[in-house]
């Protein structure tokens, strides 16, 4: 039996607009010579990674990329943030996503404030933890503005939306209906709003962690391993890291700061593993830029700094490369959607069926999207 070529799965976070977006989207506007070349030599298709609006707001799209059926596993972000630590839940407890947010006149102005220095994060998190413990919540450090809390499930309102849904909208409209949960929000906001770190950041014209938003309860992350070959992963996003830990996927730490160094690191990963997952994290702030041309600049940067070295490493390993977006977003609001996303398969043994651009329109022209999305990994490996 002929051995399958190694596969690199490259996830470009937050670069796709909704399926029914206008002719000009950030992907179509971006100067992306490397993606354009891969699209001309490979196959562009569409894939649906979430079944509905609710799944699009959870870890379901990332689970689908890893080949897991989201209908069979826990999908809450909090479950995978919790998986990063060693905390164990009691029978009546749950994990809760705990995100720092920046406010402006009682509305959410930034759902991912920062970046913060590590010392700033530690101090702010300690202050918030001392505040919310009065409401029965305790905090566990995550990364950047994304952390996790542990609380009794009865103390948590499961219907509180993620902060991305609150951008530009009054916070009061979405406050928890469960008293302990609402009390935790109030205590954290009172503490963080007047914290000296946030006051200094405001004086410098920077967003601060003005409040802690608790949302999306989840249980333990249990993902049954389904790998028939060695795998590894690269990426710094905390939810991605938690997913990989729960799935038993070793994470590779790439210290390279140059394109050549990054290419060498991916080449080493493909030499050791049959599958290497690579998550290119740009952050919610970049993903939610309303100006499509500003977002196109970010995509051009990804094309040069990430796509180019990964493609070089895949070519050297005589492997295959699957490039796709993690989730579609509404071009007007930035909200994650269950719409199909563009996907690109390139490399050893992959012949183009028709030349299509790696854009939303190109994926739509390929015909019906691949469903369910968790079948994309098997498709890329066995084609």
168-199: per-residue pLDDT in tens? 888 989 999 999 999 999 999 999 999 999 99
Q: Are residues 196 and 301 in the same domain?
A: no
Q: Are residues 89 and 177 in the same domain?
A: yes
114-118, 192-196, 231-235, 372-376: least confidently modelled range: 114-118
Give mean pLDDT, residues 59-80: 95
Q: Is the pTM of this model over 0.75?
A: yes
Give mean pLDDT, residues 93-103: 96
Q: Are residues 207 and 262 in the same domain?
A: no
Q: Are residues 237 and 213 in the same domain?
A: no
Give mean pLDDT, residues 302-309: 94
Looking at residue 8, what is its pLDDT? Answer: 97
Which among 169, 199, 218 is the end of a domain? 218
Q: Are residues 211 and 105 in the same domain?
A: yes
- What domain count does the chain have? 2
Side-chain half-sphere exposure of 234, counting CA atoms within 13 A: 24
Q: Are residues 126 and 168 in the same domain?
A: yes
70 vs 61: CA distance, rounded Å: 8
Q: The tokens 């930034």 sit on which residue?
A: 110
Q: Specify the CATH number for the domain of residue 51.
A: 3.40.720.10
Q: Judge whether residue 164 has pLDDT over 90.
A: no
Q: Are residues 53 and 169 in the same domain?
A: no
The helix/strand/coil state of 223 is coil
For residue 44, give the nearest of 311, 383, 361 by alpha carbon: 361
Looking at residue 1, what is its pLDDT? Answer: 41
Looking at residue 319, what is its pLDDT? Answer: 96
318 falls within a domain = yes
Q: Judge whether residue 202 has pLDDT over 60.
A: yes
Q: What is the pLDDT of residues 245-272, one digit of tens each?
A: 999 999 988 766 778 888 899 999 999 9
DSSP 216: E
| Domain span holding position 162 | 79-218
Q: Are residues 65 and 84 in the same domain?
A: no
Which among 218, 235, 267 is the end of a domain? 218
Peptide bond preceding 115 in cis form (omega within 30 of 0): yes
1 falls within a domain = no
Q: Are residues 85 and 156 in the same domain?
A: yes
Q: Are residues 28 and 96 in the same domain?
A: no
14 falls within a domain = yes
């Amino acid at each position: 039996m002929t051995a399958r070529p190694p596969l690199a799965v490259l996830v470009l976070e937050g670069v796709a607009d909704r399926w029914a977006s206008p002719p000009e989207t950030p992907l179509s506007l971006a100067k992306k010579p490397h993606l354009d070349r891969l699209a001309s030599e490979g196959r562009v298709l569409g894939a649906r990674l979430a079944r509905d609006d609710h799944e699009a707001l959870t870890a379901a799209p990332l689970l689908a990329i890893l080949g897991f059926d989201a209908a069979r596993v826990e999908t809450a972000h909090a479950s995978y943030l919790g998986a990063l630590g060693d905390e164990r839940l009691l029978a009546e407890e749950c994990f809760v996503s705990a995100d720092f947010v920046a406010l402006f006149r009682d509305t959410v102005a930034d759902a991912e404030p920062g970046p913060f220095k590590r010392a700033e994060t530690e101090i702010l998190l300690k202050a918030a933890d001392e505040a919310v413990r009065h409401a029965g919540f305790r905090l566990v450090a995550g990364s950047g503005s994304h952390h996790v809390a542990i609380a009794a499930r009865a103390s948590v309102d499961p219907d509180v939306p993620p902060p991305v849904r609150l951008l530009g909208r009054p916070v009061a409209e979405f406050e928890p209906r469960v008293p302990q949960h609402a009390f935790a929000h109030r205590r954290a906001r009172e503490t963080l709003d007047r914290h000296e770190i946030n006051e200094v950041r405001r004086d410098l014209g920077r967003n601060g962690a003005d409040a802690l938003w608790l949302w999306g309860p989840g249980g333990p992350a249990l993902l049954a391993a389904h790998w028939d070959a060695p795998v590894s992963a690269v990426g710094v996003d905390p939810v991605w890291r938690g997913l990989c830990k729960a799935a038993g996927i070793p994470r590779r730490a790439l210290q390279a700061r140059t394109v050549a160094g990054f290419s060498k690191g991916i080449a080493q990963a493909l030499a050791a593993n049959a599958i290497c997952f690579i998550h290119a994290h740009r952050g919610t702030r970049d993903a939610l830029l309303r100006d499509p041309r500003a977002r196109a600049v970010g995509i051009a940067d990804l094309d040069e700094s990430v796509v180019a070295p990964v493609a070089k490493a895949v070519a050297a390993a005589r492997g295959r490369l699957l490039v796709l977006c993690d989730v579609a977003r509404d071009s007007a609001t930035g909200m994650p959607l269950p719409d199909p996303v563009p996907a690109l398969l390139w490399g050893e043994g992959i012949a183009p069926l028709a030349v299509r651009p790696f854009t939303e329109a190109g994926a739509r022209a390929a015909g019906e999207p691949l469903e369910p999305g968790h079948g994309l990994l098997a498709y890329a490996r066995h084609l």
